[in-house]
Structure 1
């Protein structure tokens, strides 16, 4: 009969080895589970996917391990599995990270172990990926409503664009034509409320737009792989980045005497911008804050606003820029701490030449917007004044 404690000790020693100390599939540290069919150590989240594939997983701490299974784990491990199952992973293929959603884990694990797409026997990219053109139907959220409607999307290598149509009738042309170089795509199943939800973000002039789409099956994931093949390899990290932090905060105006309003914030660390929207699934941004470096006059810290009114939340933080001081309120200390840490990560990263260009363009756009807004305000005041004079004149007559 197997020695339970001895086998557990052996497994715990095996999982401390450098190659086994991280999940074989997403890289999460200190995996507590193992597939005794594949001989790999995996994290709790990935073990759930393996269990659905009948990969025979067990907890290395809680389950009973027979001697022959422990010997199998000793003779295999993550490194040897990687040599076999990841011989020919295409450079464009997305590998899930620890924080990614299950749809990304499942797509990777199924392709890697179930379909064995990367062992070198399948020619990559497959023929459908190399045509340079792909079209299909996705469910897209309406700009002003919560309803999702079926829309046609087209990817073109020749045009280097993603287009979508409001109706299946193409005679009126696409509703939007998005340059791939201005695009970012992230999987958002929880946010969109569908396991195959995708958020597509792009620049529309100097404003940021969001499209929220999903497919009934994992076709949205397969479409996205085709999408990355169409793109140049150097662009792949730019169009597939995840946002550093998302969530609700309360925001006040420039003088910090205005009432606080709840807004949805997205921190895009690559572009050094903190976007804010009226709601979580809004198509257009209300504004964006460029986050520079401390040497350029930017900072973030905790705060307790003295003139705050209308705020329901009490955990404050401020973002200082050379032009303005922004005040935000978080619901919990944990959220406050996470926002502070995320913003400090961006602050600590040196600025690139592209960052300076982005800041100048954003500043110019904001200046033009404020000038137009001020001009409209003057015109409105003048109109009201003239109407008041006319009204007085009529009463006198």
Structure 2
């Protein structure tokens, strides 16, 4: 007869072993669930995904469920490091490994790719991935001037260094050509209102162009995301041949550091405060603002330099200035002027100040100084 308390104690001890202290799939700390078919420890969110894959995974709670002796023994002889060695033996460097804060579609397709399709096991070593940065197919794209999504053909070419999309009148050529140099992609299910929603951005002229797309298939949209990452990695390695791959990979694609609403006033600081949607890009050191979160172009931008270069963020507004509805003020000081904002509450105020200070505390690179100079010329 199994020792319920003894087995639970042993499982909890196994959680302290190297590799088992974090979820095997997303890296969340203190996993409280386990797949006794795969021999891995996972977090609550990833356990839900595993439950939907009963042919390859069986889930139990470490603390709440009853464990037979043979299952405990199986977990003891396996564990997260053993599974990682088997199922993540040959993960391509461009392939995105989801984190605890990432959306469901990324986590689900990572789990399916590892355990269901077994795309990264050692027997996949010889398979060529030379065409990983090339892809063609149809995606639902949001119209620039209208809210509806229309089916459009997209073509990603690693050799040409571009992503294009076409309307029905393909004879006229691509509707838009996006250079890999400035291309970025990030999942935005809540903003787009679709669990498979992807936001693609690129530089058009002096502005950032937003393209919102989705696909009904979760696998297909994640395949597009990783194809863009593969093409971007090849581009960056070509452009920066002496830079270590480990330094390039974090720059392939990026999520915004913070997004949300604030109110802002104009340069004279006498204009009415108006509600705008803001996105803070850590890599580009820019705070972009829009009238609506789904606008194709920003209304304006603020370059955020470093503290050593005269930039700082202050709590509150200058004396004599008050917001329209929101009172929790934030002031960004730059060498040229001050930018004034108000947040809905003190919690949002603290969150924005923390995010802005993260950018300001980051030393500027030579590329950042060049971007700052270019930004000033265009302003």
Report if TM-score (shorter chain) is over 0.5.
yes
CA distance in structure 2 between the partners assigned to 1:122 and 1:60 by the alignment = 33
Match of 2:331 in 1: 318
Deviations 1:179-223 (A, max 9, x none): 101111001112111121110111111111100011111212112
- Deviation of residue 314 (structure 1)? 2.4
Match of 1:261 in 2: 274
CA contact (8 A) 1:181 1:239 kept: no
Deviations 1:314-372 (A, max 9, x none): 22211111111112122232222221111111111111011011111111011xxxxxx
CA distance in structure 2 between the partners assigned to 1:18 and 1:40 by the alignment = 12
- How many residues align? The count is 364
- Deviation of residue 172 (structure 1)? 1.3
Determine if the alignment matches structure 1 residue 141 to structure 2 residue 142.
yes
Q: Where do residues 325-336 of structure 1 align in structure 2 (5 Å cutoff)?
A: 325-336=338-349
- Deviation of residue 276 (structure 1)? 0.8
Determine if the alignment matches structure 1 residue 364 to structure 2 residue 377.
yes
For structure 2, list consecutive stretches of 5 or more residues without a partner in the other structure.
238-247
Match of 1:103 in 2: 105
- Deviation of residue 257 (structure 1)? 2.5
CA contact (8 A) 1:93 1:225 kept: yes
Match of 1:155 in 2: 156
Q: Where do residues 90-129 of structure 1 align in structure 2 (5 Å cutoff)?
A: 90-122=92-124
Match of 1:370 in 2: none
More off after superposition, 250-259 vs 230-239: 230-239
Structure 2 residue matching 1:63: 3-state secondary structure: coil
Determine if the alignment matches structure 1 residue 250 to structure 2 residue 263.
yes
Q: 1:149 to 1:241 in 2, by over 3 A?
A: same
Q: 1:83 to 1:132 in 2, by over 3 A?
A: closer
CA contact (8 A) 1:257 1:309 kept: no
- Deviation of residue 16 (structure 1)? 2.1
- Deviation of residue 226 (structure 1)? 2.6
CA distance in structure 2 between the partners assigned to 1:189 and 1:131 by the alignment = 24
CA contact (8 A) 1:315 1:331 kept: yes
- Deviation of residue 124 (structure 1)? 6.4
CA distance in structure 2 between the partners assigned to 1:93 and 1:109 by the alignment = 13
- Deviation of residue 131 (structure 1)? 7.9
CA distance in structure 1 between the partners assigned to 2:19 and 2:233 by the alignment = 31
TM-score under structure 2 length normalisation:
0.91
CA contact (8 A) 1:257 1:307 kept: no
CA distance in structure 2 between the partners assigned to 1:10 and 1:191 by the alignment = 44
- Deviation of residue 52 (structure 1)? 0.8
Q: 1:70 to 1:171 in 2, by over 3 A?
A: same
CA distance in structure 1 between the partners assigned to 2:119 and 2:275 by the alignment = 46
- Deviation of residue 232 (structure 1)? 3.4
CA contact (8 A) 1:20 1:78 kept: yes
Structure 2 residue matching 1:212: 3-state secondary structure: strand
Larger Cα-atom Rg: 1
Q: Where do residues 225-236 of structure 1 align in structure 2 (5 Å cutoff)?
A: 225-233=226-234, 234=237
CA distance in structure 2 between the partners assigned to 1:281 and 1:189 by the alignment = 12
Q: 1:60 to 1:334 in 2, by over 3 A?
A: farther
Q: 1:132 to 1:96 in 2, by over 3 A?
A: closer
Structure 1 residue matching 2:170: 3-state secondary structure: coil
More off after superposition, 104-113 vs 244-253: 244-253
CA distance in structure 2 between the partners assigned to 1:173 and 1:307 by the alignment = 55
Q: Where do residues 1-397 of structure 1 align in structure 2 (5 Å cutoff)?
A: 1-54=1-54, 55-122=57-124, 130=131, 133-165=134-166, 167-218=167-218, 219-233=220-234, 234=237, 237-304=250-317, 306-308=319-321, 311-366=324-379
CA contact (8 A) 2:132 2:230 kept: no
- Deviation of residue 132 (structure 1)? 6.2
